[in-house]
Chain A
Amino acid sequence: MADNGLLESVLRLVEKVDGGTDSQDVAADLGVDHQVIVGAVKSLQALGEVISAEQKSSRHWELTGEGREIAEQGSHEARVFNAIPDEGLPQNQLMKMPSGKVGFSKAMSNKWIRLDKAHEGGPRVFKTVEAIEDTVRDKLQLVQKGQSAKLEDKEKNELKKLQCYWTVKSYWITKGSSFSTTITKQETELTPEMIASGSWKEKKFKPYNFEAMGVAPDCGHLHPLMKVRTQFRQIFLEMGFTEMPTNNFIESSFWNFDSLFQPQQHPARDQHDTFFISDPALAHEFPQDYLERVKKVHSEGGYGSQGYKYDWKIEEAQKNLLRTHTTAVSARMLYKLAQQKFTPVKYFSIDRVFRNETLDATHLAEFHQIEGVVADYGLTLGNLMGILHQFFTKLGITKLRFKPAYNPYTEPSMEVFSYHEGLKKWVEVGNSGVFRPEMLLPMGLPEGVSVIAWGLSLERPTMIKYGINNIRELVGHKVNLQMVYDSPICRLDS
Chain B
Amino acid sequence: MYLNNKMLFSIHILADEEFDELCFEFGLELDEITSEKEILIREQGGEKAEGASDVVLYKIDVPANRYDLLCLEGLVRGLQVFKEKLEAPRYKRVSPADGGEPQRLVITEETASVRPHAVAAVLRNITFTQERYESFIELQEKLHQNICRKRTLVAIGTHDLDTISGPFTYTAKPPGEIRFKPLSQSREYTAAELMSLYKTDSHLRHYLHIIENEPLYPIIYDSNGIVLSMPPIINGDHSKISLNTKNIFIECTATDLTKAKITLDMVVTMFSVYCDEPFTVEEAEVVYPDGRLSVYPELAYRTETLSGDFINKRVGINESAESIAQLLTRMCLRSEVSGEGDLIQVEIPPTRADVIHACDIMEDAAIAYGFNNIVRSTPRTYTVANQLPVNKLTELLRQDLTAAGFTEALTFALCSEEDIADKLRKNITETRAVHISNPKTADFQVARTSLLPGLLKTIAANRKMPLPLKLFEISDVVLKDETKDVGARNNRRLCAVYYNKSPGFEVIHGLLDRVMQLLDVKPGRNQGYHIQASYLKIYFNDSTFFPGRCAEIFSCGKSIGHLGVLHPDVISRFELTMPCSAIDIDIEPFL
Residues of A within 8 A of B (CB): 218-223, 225-226, 230, 233, 236-252, 265, 267, 271, 275-286, 301, 303-310, 320, 322, 344-346, 352, 354, 356, 364-366, 374, 376, 378-383, 385-387, 389-390, 401-406, 408, 411-414, 426, 434, 436-438, 450, 474-482, 484-485
- Cβ of B590 within 8 Å of any chain A Cβ, yes or no, is no
Q: Name A219's contact: one of B356, B403, B412, B469 (CB within 8 Å).
A: B403
Question: B461 contacts A479, CB within 8 Å?
Answer: yes
Distance in angstroms from B442 CB to nearest chain A CB is 12
A-B contact pairs, 26 of them (CB 8 A): A219-B405, A220-B403, A220-B470, A221-B407, A222-B402, A223-B408, A223-B410, A230-B395, A233-B391, A240-B385, A249-B478, A277-B435, A282-B487, A283-B487, A304-B358, A346-B385, A379-B379, A380-B377, A381-B366, A387-B379, A401-B24, A406-B27, A411-B360, A412-B371, A426-B24, A477-B454
Question: B356 contacts A374, CB within 8 Å?
Answer: no
Q: Would you list the 5 A-B pairs with minimal beta carbon distance, nearest first?
A: A382-B316, A380-B316, A404-B27, A280-B487, A477-B457
* Residue of A247, A283, A306 with most chain B CB atoms under a 10 A cut-off: A247
- Cβ of B526 within 8 Å of any chain A Cβ, yes or no, is no
- Cβ of B378 within 8 Å of any chain A Cβ, yes or no, is yes
Q: Name B378's contact: one of A221, A244, A383 (CB within 8 Å).
A: A383
| Cβ contacts under 8 Å, A251 to chain B | 486
Q: Which residue of A lies closest to B372 (CB)?
A: A401
Supposing A221-B407, A225-B410, A481-B465 touch, asked if A279 and B377 sit within 8 A by C-beta, the answer is: no
Question: A276 contacts B436, CB within 8 Å?
Answer: yes
Question: B395 contacts A275, CB within 8 Å?
Answer: no
Distance in angstroms from A214 CB to nearest chain B CB is 17
Q: 1/0 per position for B84-113, CB-CB distance to A under 8 A?
A: 000000000000000000000000000000
| Cβ contacts under 8 Å, A237 to chain B | 385, 387
Distance in angstroms from B362 CB to nearest chain A CB is 7
Question: B374 contacts A243, CB within 8 Å?
Answer: no
Supposing A244-B388, A250-B486, A251-B486 touch, asked if A479 and B409 sit within 8 A by C-beta, the answer is: yes
Question: B407 contacts A381, CB within 8 Å?
Answer: no
| Cβ contacts under 8 Å, B258 to chain A | 308-310
Distance in angstroms from A336 CB to nearest chain B CB is 13
Give the docked Cα–Cα distance between A234 and B435 (Å): 35
Question: A412 contacts B363, CB within 8 Å?
Answer: yes
| Cβ contacts under 8 Å, B292 to chain A | none
Give the docked Cα–Cα distance between A366 and B461 (Å): 20
Question: B383 contacts A344, CB within 8 Å?
Answer: yes
Q: Which residue of A lies closest to B66 (CB)?
A: A406
Distance in angstroms from A196 CB to nearest chain B CB is 34
| Cβ contacts under 8 Å, B63 to chain A | 404-406
Question: B444 contacts A380, CB within 8 Å?
Answer: no
Question: B436 contacts A277, CB within 8 Å?
Answer: yes
Q: Which residue of B lies closest to A218 (CB)?
A: B405
Give the docked Cα–Cα distance between A426 and B465 (Å): 40
Question: A250 contacts B447, CB within 8 Å?
Answer: yes
Give the docked Cα–Cα distance between A450 and B358 (Å): 14
Question: A276 contacts B407, CB within 8 Å?
Answer: no
Give the docked Cα–Cα distance between A381 and B374 (Å): 8
Question: B384 contacts A240, CB within 8 Å?
Answer: yes
- Cβ of B492 within 8 Å of any chain A Cβ, yes or no, is yes
| Cβ contacts under 8 Å, A479 to chain B | 409-410, 458, 461-462
Q: Name B410's contact: one of A271, A322, A476 (CB within 8 Å).
A: A476
| Cβ contacts under 8 Å, A245 to chain B | 388
Question: B381 contacts A376, CB within 8 Å?
Answer: yes
Distance in angstroms from B458 CB to nearest chain A CB is 4
Question: A437 contacts B357, CB within 8 Å?
Answer: yes
Supposing A278-B436, A390-B378 touch, asked if A404 and B359 sit within 8 A by C-beta, the answer is: no
Question: B437 contacts A243, CB within 8 Å?
Answer: no
Give the docked Cα–Cα distance between A356 and B443 (Å): 11
Question: B315 contacts A345, CB within 8 Å?
Answer: no
